[in-house]
Amino acid sequence: MLDLAVERAALIGLLSSGPKMEWAKYRNAISMGQYPTELGATEEHIQTGQHVIAEWHHRVGGANFYTCLDEGYPAQLRDVWDFPPFVFIRGDETPLRRLQGDVGVCVVGSRKPTQQGHAAADFISRQLAQLGITIISGLAEGVDRAAHQAALETGARTVGVIGTGIDRYYPTTSRPYQEAMENGHGMVLSQFGPGASPTRASFPMRNAVMSAYGRATIIVEASEQSGTKHQAQHAVKHGRPVILAEPVARKTTWGARLADDSSVDAHVAHTPEHAVQLARGVIDRSAPPAPTQILAF
């Protein structure tokens, strides 16, 4: 009989056994239905995992911890090939339990947007929020903050996917927004262990999880070297639609390449209103079919 607590501990023990977590070594086998105890986890791994999990819970009281083996793990993350082995969540998880899940769109872009870019992020986020669509972003400065702030001011749900441990606030100026989400106005999600600091690698990894969580990604404004391109690349690999603001498609080589590639689900929005329209179309076509109505004779 499966003992989920043992399997969770075995997974964390396997991932904690080396100098860095080697998730790719086990990911495919677990996605195919194998369990950590079938992948070489020993009693020592299980004990190590139990100790690590207990320490994590002690450090982040109030945050929920889910491995990819758990029912509480966000279902949409399992849809992609590079799903994280575990996540920490603070905030309102109720939408995750609904049939359609947490229906959201990622709104991302430059950390130093122009006035026009900031206004576009605000408009897009407010319009989508008023339609009941969750606004997802990365709690960074610039476009991310404008997106979260617009949702919060509208009284709508917003989700922050962060590139640090769930107990960190980075940048510190984002703390009020992060705390608002944690306290019921949305949700904060991290794929990193408690105390994890931001690194050059952690933000592309964060972008992958953000892409997986949302139904689509809208890139409001970005430069050639913007880290936002990582989110676009991940979204394409995940089969998620990418909506590019027209200047991004015109002024960056990666944006132009996506816009010209008919094999990917990329769209060019010529105005903020057009971006909202395209996002609504994505949500409509990704909705689960309505239950079949049975008529009595």
85 has a pLDDT exceeding 50:
yes
Residue 58: band (very low, low, confident or very high) from pLDDT cuts 50, 70, 90? very high
In terms of residue numbers, what domain contains 31? 1-59
Q: Are residues 179 and 110 in the same domain?
A: yes
DSSP 181: I
The H or E element containing residue 108 is: strand 104-108
Q: Are residues 247 and 180 in the same domain?
A: yes
Q: Are residues 52 and 137 in the same domain?
A: no
CATH of residue 180's domain is 3.40.50.450
For the chain, what is the domain count?
Answer: 2
Residue 291 within a domain: no
pTM: 0.94
Task: For the beta carbon of residue 119, count every other beta carbon within 10 angstroms.
Answer: 14
Q: Are residues 29 and 122 in the same domain?
A: no
Kindly give the pairing relationship between strand 158-165 and strand 186-192. parallel
Q: Are residues 18 and 161 in the same domain?
A: no
Residue 14 within a domain: yes
Exposed, middle or buried, 234 (CB in 10 Å: 0-12/13-18/19+)?
Answer: buried
Task: For the beta carbon of residue 221, count every other beta carbon within 10 angstroms.
Answer: 23
Rounded to whole angstroms, how far apart are CA atoms 80 and 240? 10
109, 121 contact by CB (below 8 A): yes
Last residue of a domain, one of 41, 59, 77: 59
Q: Are residues 33 and 121 in the same domain?
A: no
* 227-285: pLDDT as tens digits: 999 999 999 999 999 999 999 999 999 999 999 999 999 999 999 999 999 999 999 98
Instruction: State residue 286's pLDDT score.
Output: 74
Mean pLDDT of the chain: 94
Rounded to whole angstroms, how far apart are CA atoms 190 and 206? 8
Rounded to whole angstroms, how far apart are CA atoms 281 and 259? 18
Residue 62: band (very low, low, confident or very high) from pLDDT cuts 50, 70, 90? confident
Q: Are residues 171 and 217 in the same domain?
A: yes
Q: Are residues 32 and 98 in the same domain?
A: no
Rounded to whole angstroms, how far apart are CA atoms 231 and 218? 10
295 has a pLDDT exceeding 80:
no
Please name which of 113, 128, 200, 196 lies closest in space to residue 158, comparing C-alpha atoms.
128
Q: Are residues 110 and 49 in the same domain?
A: no
Residue 72 within a domain: no
Q: Are residues 152 and 16 in the same domain?
A: no
